[in-house]
Structure 1
Amino acid sequence: MAAPLFKDYATLRREFHWDLPARYNIGADVCDVWAKREPDRTAILRRLPGGGSERISYGTLREASDRFALALKSLGVGKGDRVAILLPQSPAVVIAHLATAKLGAISLPLAVLFGPDALAYRLRDSGAKVVLLDEGGLAKLGQIETDLPDLETLISVDGAGGGALDFESLVAGAQGELTPVASTPGDPAMMIYTSGTTGQPKGAVHGHRVVPGHIPGLRFAHPGLGQADDVMWTPADWAWAGGLLNVLLPSLALGVPVVAGLHAKFSVDEVLALLRDLKVRNAFLPPTALRMLQAAHRPGEAYRTHLRSIMSAGETLGPGTYEWAREAFGFPVNELYGQTECNLVLGSSFQAGISRPGAIGKSVPGHEVEVQDEEGLTCAPGEIGEIVVKAPDPVMFLHYWRNEKATAAKFRKGWLLTGDKARRDEDGYLDFIGRSDDIITSAGYRIGPGEIEDCLMRHPAVAMAAVIGAADTLRTEIVKAFLVLKPGFSPSAELTRDVQLFVRERLSAHEYPRVIAYAEALPMTSSGKIIRRALREGD
């Protein structure tokens, strides 16, 4: 008798064990294994402008990633070098990650929403040697005035020009045979910048183990993932941990085709068309995307697509959206939790019997998660404490880039501190309460105030700035800024618009303050730190 496709939670926990090999390389495992076994198997389904799609096989990905790796090698890229990827969802993103991993270099995904200032900081701090980009990215880099001494080469997917080499020509012209570096699971593979909850963002360095480490969480949210007709899609940018590690790389490692959608503003009609036309079976939809679908609810069978499983993460889903989604799609959404440094460690899976409105869920098999008090003691049921994760763990970051002090502060007595508050009930479900730091969760993005405040302070009218998250029905929170103006400037609608545009153009569209309040002074501690808690409480 065949083993059941779905197992209950207790069985999954009891039977789980990690089995990471001594040698593991993301590029080889995600792509080359399947290319050797089934070269014509579809890896990427690319949505085309005007409708229709094209299929990119694992064999094609292997050839292209080998060629690009050889091209990078000829440009001097080697083990440990950082290769930045500044592109929307596209096959080139996959090729770049695979090629970088095969060389033993470190990929640096960068969101296309970032403005010049945000890009300059990450490129300078990481010491990126190469950037793969498109015409839009090239224009942003042209606005960067900061010196980037480590950046040697720009490669454009839109053709040579503006000081950039042509991606396709490099791939076509590469010569030789490539043998992927024999990496270990703990060797550095990628660096994803945090949201900058205190000060500037930090580069969280992950090992090659991060991809197999995410597979248990992915399969918890999508039980039986890897069936013959499975197709995965997310509207999330592949530069974010959610798009890259909740979807792209682990899905490909399981042989599941991933849809590369058009990079455009979220449209309910286009989303529903994509789900139907490409017969998407599995999706990662952040809560804001689900709320937008909910707000534009179509009666009848509009949402009864080919989908068989949906996961959601990045912020709490909320009982209302949970109940709507269950009715609209015909099954509950599986909610998961994690952060850039340690992802997909808590979650729900209705197929495994773990699903409750308003709750994150329980520890994903393979991960040990607790709620602890400030002394590191396990909280009693109903008591609010901090979510902590037992180290070591395959999804756990190796360290912050060139920041030993911050790395050490992230751990306490063998547990990673998330900074997020929760309480566990008598049944073991975790309810998310809030953040013990000042992070803002907006439309699925985790936003730190430090980078925004730094940008605001560069505006000629701003003397002091503080940023908090203000409650919002659609986005969970929006960015709200409190400004103290310099002498000679007065609050006005025109100044508000100018400040908002200033931040939006320099950082990103999701980070600019949608609300601005003007103040004579800001609440400060005796050491000169802004008391954001006082601003939130008075908001």
Structure 2
Amino acid sequence: MQNHETLRAAFAWNLPARYNIAAACADAHARREPDRICLIEDRGEAPARSMSYGELARLSVRLAAALAARGVGRGDRVAIVLPQSFETVIAHLAVYRLGAIAVPLALRFGPEALGYRLKACGAKLAIVHREGLETFAAVEGDLPALEHLVSVGGKPRAGPTDFETLLQETAEAPGEPATGPDDPALIIFTSGTTGPPKGALHGHRVVLGHLPGIRFHHEDYPQAGDRIWTPSDWAWAGGLLNVLLPSLQLGVPVVFTAGRFDPQEAFRLMARQAVRNAFLPATALRMLAAATDAAALRDLTLRTIASAGESLPAATFEWARETLGLTVNEFYGQTECNMVLGSSAACGVSRAGAIGKAVPGHEVALLDADGRKVAPGEAGTIAVRAPDPVMFLNYWQDPAATAAKFLGDWLLTGDQAVMDDDGYVSFLGRDDDIITSAGYRIGPGEVENCLLAHPAVTLAAVVGKPDPLRTEIVKAYVVVKDGIEASPELAAELKGFVRTRLSAHEYPREIGFVAEMPLTTSGKIVRRVFRETAAAEAAEQAER
């Protein structure tokens, strides 16, 4: 593989006039090699199942026809509330075929989190796993744009259409997908620091934009025999755009499973399926390191490991080198503009404690508050120059937030970093209040709003508390209403209140009761005070 400087100097974007994610990720392979395997499901308890490109193309065409018969067309939003599954991939590609917009949402969302996102995007049709139907039923009465509900995974309750029934319909197949790179394809919601989450709208080109990054981090990817797996949910950019869609386009089989991440089962899964490439957030790698034994390592065939979403500790970096014989290639991005910085040991870009350098095809700089590039060694905001194929089109129906994301030609990530004389970028932290926990980026505003809906709470501040396993945990500081007793029982009740309404990854794992909140002159909570308090608490606990 060529070195980094040579790759960057030789790189040039050449986007086609016509491009559709479904055509690139299924049809192109189906025409050449219809029997080639693209998806492998391994649930651990039964023989693995697989799907070919020919089957994926055929089924996604059928589903597209059925959706079109129900009025889904160009620009309509289709919510996909499913776990990793064959149905998830079929649904995505069917939506892209129609020029509609896929809105992936986590199955673990509670009613408030799910309902807000469905209403905000104006979903016309939703495809929901049977495990999420109860949550969906709690919010569907407040979704005026919703016209159809499709259920996956067994006999539905009265009302929804069964997914398998749609695949058996004989509606007229849609014509060849006719979209361009800039046509809208996908909305992924990203948490904000204040107010509700924002929907980042991406064009079809977002998959093309990820190809240089995935080739770089997985070292001349694909190679013969490559097979990739990630525990990251396909409802998030980490699973969908860092792994699933680019790998399908490149012809690499994608392995998937279900359930929560278990490190010992992860070792067994990777061995059973001869996984050669893995995308693992730092938390997952730390859990693997803690569960390592000789039996777990014996049958592994890993060639590359990529990691992103949270900083990788030097100890974990060294564990992978010493125990797995691999250098973890970190990379950096966010939902709005992903895979723009990274490392690749094969290209000579690897340094413990650093994210890496700009990936070929992307121009990245560190800027001060006035938009000037900072000197080496000085802190600045990570910024990406527009236009860039991996960059979002806009925030859905939020032009003010879209404008605020840019400074001239630069997209501002909101992350602080330093660059050394060799061009290596090291992450310092957010310049806003985003919490990074087990690879998830969590906006405190949504959690605070949920807590404020509880009858015992008058004020709430949510921050990230440093944690040796998850990078940070969500901690809430709460002022209770007069006459309410702050107690361990109330703390447990508040945790459950958020967990059932938002999601399992967003609820506060710790609740601290305070007598008053520090406020600015304009009445805003000063979260910085609580970040400092939480950091001090974590340091004290580490010393015990």
Normalising by structure 1, we get a TM-score of 0.97
Q: In the alignment, what sits opposite 1:21? A: 16
State the distance in 2 between where 1:381 and 1:359 align: 14
Q: How does 1:105-254 map to 2 (within 5 A)?
A: 105-144=100-139, 147-157=142-152, 158-254=154-250
Distance change >3 Å, CA 303–CA 397, structure 1 → 2: farther
CA spacing shift, 1:303–1:151, aligned 2, 3 Å? farther
CA contact (8 A) 1:159 1:167 kept: no
- CA distance in 1: counterparts of 2:34 and 2:224, whole angstroms: 16
Shift of 1:301: 6.9
* Partner in structure 1 of residue 43 of structure 2: 48
Q: What code does the residue aligned with 1:315 have?
A: E
Map Cα deviations across residues 390-411 of structure 1 (whole Å, 9 max, x no partner): 0010000000000000000000
Which residue of structure 2 aligns with residue 288 of structure 1?
Answer: 283
Question: Is structure 2 residue 403 aligned with structure 1 residue 413?
Answer: no
CA contact (8 A) 1:341 1:396 kept: yes
For residue 351 of structure 1, what is the aligned residue in structure 2?
346
Aligned to 2:34: 39
Once the two structures are TM-superposed, the CA of residue 331 in structure 1 deviates from its matched residue by: 1.3
Q: Does the 8 Å CA contact 2:75/2:100 hold for their aligned counterparts?
A: yes
Given that 1:303 and 1:328 are in contact with CA atoms closer than 8 Å, whether structure 2 keeps it comes out as: no
Moved more, 44-53 or 274-283: 44-53
Matches within 5 A, 1:424-503: 424-503=419-498
1:405 alignment partner AA = A
Residue 394 of structure 1 pairs with residue 389 of structure 2: yes
Note if contact 1:138-1:162 (Cα within 8 Å) is conserved in structure 2: no
Contact 1:159 1:165 in 2 (8 A): no
Tell me how far apart the structure 2 counterparts of residues 50 and 445 of structure 1 sit (CA, whole Å): 28
Q: CA deviation at 1:296?
A: 1.7
Q: Which amino acid aligns with 1:251?
A: S
Whether the 8 Å CA contact 1:159–1:168 is kept in 2: the answer is: no
What secondary structure is seen at the aligned counterpart in 1 of 2:429?
Answer: strand
SS in structure 2 at match of 1:395: coil
What is the CA deviation profile of residues 383-430 of structure 1, one whole-angstrom value per residue up to 9, with x for unaligned ones?
Answer: 001000000100000000000000000000100000000000111100
Q: Which amino acid aligns with 2:220?
A: G
Question: Aligned in 2, Cα 1:145/1:256: closer, same or farther, shift over 3 Å?
Answer: closer
Per the TM alignment, residue 67 of structure 1 is displaced from its structure 2 partner at its CA by 0.3
Letter in 2 for 1:176: E
Rounded Cα–Cα distance in structure 2 between residues aligned with 1:406 and 1:40: 45
Contact 2:38 2:50 in 1 (8 A): yes
CA distance in 2, matches of 1:520, 1:274: 49
Matched residue SS, 1:280: coil
What is aligned with 2:541? none
Structure-2 change in CA distance of 1:304 and 1:160 (3 Å): closer
Counterpart check, 1:530 vs 2:525 = yes
Query: 1:269 is paired with a residue of what secondary structure?
Result: helix
Query: Offset at 1:178?
Result: 2.3
CA 108–168 in structure 1, closer or farther in 2 if over 3 Å, else same: same
CA contact (8 A) 1:304 1:329 kept: no
Structure 2 unaligned residues grouped into runs of 5+: 535-544
- C-alpha offsets along residues 158-215 of structure 1, whole Å, 9 cap, x if unaligned? 2343321011111111332321331110000000000222211000000000001100
Bigger drift between 217-226 and 97-106 goes to 217-226
1:349 and 1:303, CA in 2 relative to 1: closer, same or farther beyond 3 A? farther
- Give SS of 2:531's match: helix
In structure 2, the residue matched to 1:3 is: none
Q: What residue identity is the alignment partner of 2:360?
A: P
State the alpha-carbon separation in 2 of the partners of residues 122 and 534 from structure 1.
31
Q: How does 1:244-393 map to 2 (within 5 A)?
A: 244-261=240-257, 263-299=258-294, 302=297, 305-393=300-388
Is contact 1:185–1:209 with CA below 8 Å preserved after alignment? Answer: yes
* Distance in 1, Cα, partners of 2:172 & 2:119: 32
- TM-score with structure 2 length normalisation? 0.96
* Residue 303 of structure 1, CA deviation: 6.5
The answer to whether the 8 A contact 2:232-2:239 is kept is: yes
Q: Does structure 1 conserve the Cα–Cα contact (< 8 Å) formed by 2:366 and 2:417? A: yes
Aligned length: 533
Partner residue in 1 for 2:4: 9
AA aligned opposite 2:468: T
1:58 to 50, 53, 58: 53
Name the CA distance, whole Å, in 2 between partners of 1:47 and 1:257.
Answer: 13
Q: Equivalent residue for 2:542?
A: none
Deviation of 1:491 after TM superposition, in Å, equals: 1.1
Closer/same/farther in 2, CA of residues 304 and 377 from structure 1, 3 Å limit: farther
SS at match of 1:302: helix
In the alignment, structure 1 segments of 5+ residues that lack a partner are 1-5
Say if 1:91 and 1:260, in contact at 8 Å, map to a contact too. no
**Per-residue CA shift, 1:326-372, capped at 9, x if unaligned?**
11210100000000000000000001000000100000000000011
1:537 offset after TM fit, Å?
2.0
Conserved 8 A contact 1:303-1:329: no
Distance 1:16 1:119 in 2: 41
- The list of structure 1 runs, each at least 4 consecutive aligned residues, that deviate by more than 6 angstroms after superposition, is none
2:264–2:288: 8 Å Cα contact kept in structure 1? no
Q: CA deviation at 1:137?
A: 1.1
In the aligned structure 2, how far is the partner of 1:209 from the partner of 1:99? 17
